[in-house]
Structure 1
Amino acid sequence: MSDGTVSGEEFWEARYAEGDRIWSGEPNAALVREAADLPPGRALDLGCGEGADAIWLARQGWRVTAVDISRTALDRAAGHAAAEGVADRIDFQRLDLASAFPDGTFELVSAHFLHSHGDLPRERILRTAAAAVVPGGMLLIVGHAGFPAGEHATHAGVHFPAPQEVISALDLPEGQWEVLRIDEYESVRTGPDGRPVTRADNTVKLRRLPG
């Protein structure tokens, strides 16, 4: 997330400079749950970070385009992919999604926790993501539904959309998509101090209808 006082790239480079690895290295649970049974094809991972989701997809047989704004994150992701033996299945691209979007169409487009305190045009990015899904393909959007306890006061201007708000903002053509999952749930992650943190997340999974 960017706080609006620095660019998105500056924010995330500073964030990744905090340690050799800032994420768990494990794929997001919602991705594993929702994509495990999909036939592999071309996948787009928006905001890939250190590459855990992209690597998991590649290990399932997908060819992955993985995008992030941070060169540091992408370098780490590429190193992890090479160590896992799947580097040849992942195309890592450094892009600022506020101004650019990867070329191509995909059987799966995945966006996990694509939030910002700054001016990231999340709704526009997700509409572009939907347009990149081929007929019969899936769009998977996983986001936070709120702050962990005690954090909201420090980020009072940030709004986390509910699942139905996410779908409405996509402005999808009528009759061309079906909703496969829309839910909200609690998830537990390890916080910066090593303690478990519980917060509400949500998942939206849609399928673009064939034809």
Structure 2
Amino acid sequence: MTIEMFTEDYWEQRYRSRGALWSGRPNAHLVSDVAGLEPGAALDVGCGEGADAIWLARRGWRVTGADISPTALERAAEHARAAGVEATWVRADVLSWVPEPGRYDLVTAGFVHVPAGLREPLFARLAEAVAPGGTLLIAGHHPSDVGVVPRPDVPELFFTADELAAALDPGAWEVQAADARPRTVAHPEHGGEVTIHDAVLRARRR
């Protein structure tokens, strides 16, 4: 593993290499787990080209999207304008960035993968940004996917929801979901259907 995977240059090269890096569809776990919440202030960490942030903004959330890539943020802003919604876009290196504590009614991070040792303080900072009564939603690739579909050969990037839940103070948090959720996808190499799992943590600050 190289630290270059987590730099602005790395992600700028990835975004500039293609007209669109992601599908433009919101994260399915965001849709399922947030649809019933009362809109408020939301922080989307690792927002990429803005699909999740735009989905939230369309539903009345006041959204801040944060990402390390200026190109991603430019595309997100363009997509928001085309969708007729407003959001705030922040260039942030999540390995060091500290969002304002207690500010957001929802903090979400979809498939933000950094190694163990860096992941724990990152997610702790995101948890601290959740307001009382607010929700923390984190989704990522489950370790069981390694070998099922192509993933970076860096096993320490992946995590379980139980690992994330164990880091939350039970006196301060109600864990509402800590799942390995299955979904069926087409294998990117041979095209056949395979079942993979996403680690999904949803917790409410008491």
Which position in structure 2 is the counterpart of 1:8?
Answer: 7
- Identity among equivalent pairs (%): 44
Matched-pair contact (CA < 8 Å) for 1:148–1:197: no
Amino acid at match of 2:44: D
Alignment deviations for residues 166-197 of structure 1 (CA, whole Å, 9 cap, x no partner): 112x3x33412111111112234567679577
Matched-pair contact (CA < 8 Å) for 2:68–2:92: yes
Which position in structure 2 is the counterpart of 1:70?
Answer: 69
Cα drift, residue 63 of structure 1: 0.2
Amino acid at match of 1:101: V
Alignment deviations for residues 109-151 of structure 1 (CA, whole Å, 9 cap, x no partner): 001111036x882211110111111111100011110335253
Which position in structure 1 is the counterpart of 2:104?
Answer: 106
**Aligned 1:124-203 pairs, distance under 5 A:** 124-146=121-143, 147=146, 149=148, 151=150, 155-168=153-166, 170=167, 172-189=168-185, 195=191, 198-203=195-200
> d(CA) in 1 for partners of 2:186 and 2:83?
24
Larger displacement relative to structure 2 (69-78 or 178-187): 178-187
Unaligned runs of 5+ in 2: none
> d(CA) in 2 for partners of 1:185 and 1:44?
23
Unaligned runs of 5+ in 1: none
Give the match's secondary structure for 2:74.
Answer: helix
> d(CA) in 1 for partners of 2:189 and 2:49?
20
Which position in structure 1 is the counterpart of 2:120?
Answer: 123
**Matching residue within 88, 93, 96 for 1:91:** 88
Which position in structure 2 is the counterpart of 1:28?
Answer: 27
CA 1:120 to 1:173, structure 2 compared with 1: closer, same or farther past 3 Å? closer
Cα drift, residue 159 of structure 1: 4.3
CA 1:113 to 1:31, structure 2 compared with 1: closer, same or farther past 3 Å? same
> d(CA) in 1 for partners of 2:73 and 2:138?
21
Matched-pair contact (CA < 8 Å) for 1:110–1:140: yes
Give the match's secondary structure for 2:113.
Answer: coil
> d(CA) in 1 for partners of 2:94 and 2:79?
23
Cα drift, residue 165 of structure 1: 0.9
Amino acid at match of 2:69: S
Give the match's secondary structure for 1:155.
Answer: coil
Matched-pair contact (CA < 8 Å) for 1:141–1:204: yes
Matched-pair contact (CA < 8 Å) for 1:66–1:93: yes
Q: TM-score scaled to structure 1, two decimals?
A: 0.86
Matched-pair contact (CA < 8 Å) for 1:44–1:108: yes
Matched-pair contact (CA < 8 Å) for 2:113–2:157: no
Matched-pair contact (CA < 8 Å) for 2:94–2:122: yes
Give the match's secondary structure for 1:98.
Answer: coil
Amino acid at match of 1:110: T
